[in-house]
Amino acid sequence: MSRFEETDAEDLSSDKDERREIEIKSLLDQIRQTADKLQRDAATRGDLKLLSRSLKELRYAFKVFTPFRDKRKVTIFGSARTLPDHPTYQTAADFAEQMAKDDWLVITGAGSGIMEAGHRGAGRANSMGLNIMLPFEQQANPVIHGDEKLVNMKYFFTRKLMFVKECDAVVCLPGGFGTLDEAFEVLTLVQTGKRDIFPIVLLDAPGGTYWKALDDFIRAALHEGGMISPEDFALYKVTDKIEEAVGEIEQFYKVYHSMRYVRKQLVIRTMTPIAESLLNDIRTEFQDILSEGTFEVRDALPEEDEPELEDMPRLVFTFNRRNLGRLRILVDCLNAGSMEPAGRDFT
């Protein structure tokens, strides 16, 4: 690189840093303006307490998670009532142990049962916790209790936000109302594009039928009733095998790295370049998910402000923001380096 090119690169970097600082200041100003408007609106004491506590909780949670943003994380959901001698407990522990060996952090609700199993399998050093404070004093399990990677939260909605926002995959083991609520909320967020797609695994103990029974219901009632699309089945995987659960997650990040929207365009970053032949096949197979234009391989867009990702290849296109199941299949094709996943019958 010549001296002039180095100077241009430095100027471009400086411009991006300046734009980023301006945007951050604008967002902080908006938070302050919202607080002023609450006072003008004569918000009740109860409303103000809820907003104040929520903001404090999220601020602290962001602070705890920030140092670990460069590590992949898997969230594990499941029953707090599962005992250590139950096969599902051991399945959760074995799964978490394997993910920790592969350098993943394990997030759970920090309580007992499946949550404790996940932390026992991963070990304290590879565990993060989001404990909910309940009237009957739920205390964090002994593995994570007192750890700097534990956050105690008052509200379920702030806790659920952190579970999904900070992770790169979700694995649900059998549980009660809370587990089903978490599983369906994650599926809803991904299906509607409110959360970037990521692996969702419904994991049973070997021979277990908990999730298979739910999957049968989804197929018979929701799919056959026309309430979900066939490609929505690509959004989750049901299995009773730990190796399949681990494989589903790690295969997802074999080539795919991350995605973000830049105005109307969706940018998918990949770990390796996309072959011309695969790009041509994608243009033919996935034309239906475009609102306009075509698929292009490009360098980082000027609006992207993540310098650590600038050198990654990009697949850029105008996604219709509707066919999220098809988008997941596209990512599977990128990871496979072929169109084989597009030919699967998910029903």
The whole-number pLDDT of residue 90 equals 98
Closest to 233 (Cα-Cα) out of 252, 215, 245: 215
pLDDT digits (tens, 9 = 90+) for 253-299: 999 999 999 999 999 999 999 999 999 999 999 999 999 999 999 99
- DSSP per-residue letters across 65-108: HGGGTTS-EEEEE--TT--TTSHHHHHHHHHHHHHHHTT-EEEE
pLDDT at res. 12: 55
Residues with pLDDT less than 50, the chain: none
**Angstrom distance (rounded) from CA 80 to CA 114:** 6
How does pLDDT run across 101-148, given as a tens digit for each residue?
999 999 999 999 999 999 999 999 999 999 998 776 568 999 999 999
pTM (2 decimals)?
Answer: 0.92
